[in-house]
Amino acid sequence: MKQIRLDKYLSDMGIGTRSQVKNLIRKGKVTVNEGVVKTPEFKVSSKDVVNVDGIQVSYVEYEYLMLNKPGGVVSATEDRRERTVLDLVPDSARKDLFPVGRLDKDTEGLLLLTNDGALAHQLLSPRKHVDKTYFATIQGLVSEDEVERFAKGLDIGDEKLTLPAKLKVLSSGPVSEVEVTIQEGRYHQVKRMFEAVDCSVTYLKRLSMGSLKLDEKLDSGAYRALTEDEISSLKSGNKESEG
Ligand code: URA
């Protein structure tokens, strides 16, 4: 961890707003390595022992949360009109979390929230071809023909065809159920792929992203911290996490 200002350190850890922690510091309530520090700009790192009123405050640099996104909320950090995915994690200590990629407002399921920009980049970079698997309910008959067309790549009106996508048909009829795995994250991609084969998506839920699988025990709108195994699998780019 690089050195950061003492007031940022404390407000990142949820001790208070920037002005509240500045007050605490100026009042002499904060010690660094047992010496009182009264300047909010004082630089500290994770090697320093920081106490507030005698209680140690350790610095957690990165946070990783798995959210089971419900429909009706937008994948943004702020929105003037709509509820955002961050409104669903109000008790998070950190103020710098953001969603890794976007799900449409009506799409549900796995969304990773973090402040780790490097991991987000790794997961979102088009060159990395990270698998994203969705469950979808489809208005229209989905058959082997569509499986082949998805596997070849589809013209969805962009400059390039989509990369090959895996389509698993769970049930086929006037309304079909599928699992679809794509390696890109183009705007409305799954919906546009089904439109390209004359069908429409009526329900969409993300089940996994890279090695990270949606925890089935998470109710819609609930979240939990990732386990150490989940974090290290995601970072190493493993396809499967160990448990
Ligand atoms: N594809 C879509 O069409 N929508 C999403 O939210 C995600 C993938």
Helices (H) and strands (E) in the chain, counts: 6, 15
Structure confidence at residue 12 as a pLDDT band (50, 70, 90):
confident
Q: Do 6 and 38 meet the contact criterion of CB atoms below 8 Å apart?
A: no
Q: Which amino acid is at 143?
A: S
Spatial distance between the Cα atoms of 8 and 59, rounded to a whole number of angstroms: 11
pLDDT confidence of residue 102: 95
The model's pLDDT over 17-53, given as tens digits with 9 standing for 90+, comes to: 899 999 999 999 999 999 999 999 999 998 999 999 9
pLDDT at 242: 39
Segment holding 148, helix H or strand E: helix 144-152
Q: Are 68 and 220 in contact (CB under 8 A)?
A: yes
d(CA 20, CA 18): 6
Q: Which residues line ligand 1 (CB under 6 A)?
A: 103-104, 107, 188-191, 204
In three-state secondary structure terms, 98 is strand
- Residue 23 and residue 29: Cα distance in Å, rounded? 9
132 Cα nearest atom in ligand 1: 8
pLDDT digits (tens, 9 = 90+) for 16-25: 889 999 999 9
Least confident of 6-15, 83-92, 128-137, 216-225: 83-92
Residue nearest to atom 7 of ligand 1 (CA): 103
pTM: 0.88
Instruction: For residue 104, indicate whether it is catalytic.
Output: yes
Mean pLDDT of the chain: 94
The sign of the dihedral angle between the CA atoms of 26, 27, 29, 35 is positive
pLDDT higher than 70, residue 241: no
The DSSP secondary-structure symbol of 217 reads T
Burial of 236 (0-12, 13-18, 19+ CB in 10 A): exposed
Q: Which atom of ligand 1 is nearest to the CA of 193?
A: 3
Residue recorded with tokens 């709108």: 221
CA distance to 14, 143, 205, 220, per residue, from 167 (Å): 44, 10, 15, 25
Question: For 65-81, how does the pLDDT look when each residue is reduced to its tens digit (9 = 90+)?
Answer: 999 999 999 999 888 99
> What would the DSSP string read from start to end of 22-62?
HHHHHTT-EEETTEE---TT-EE-TTS-EEETTEE------
DSSP letter string, 163-182 = PP-EEEEEE-SSEEEEEEEE
Ligand 1 center from residue 198 Cα (angstroms): 17
pLDDT in tens, 185-229: 999 999 999 999 999 999 999 999 999 999 999 999 999 999 999
**CA-closest residue to ligand 1 atom 2:** 188
- Residue 11 Rama label (left phi>0; alpha psi -120 to 50; beta): alpha
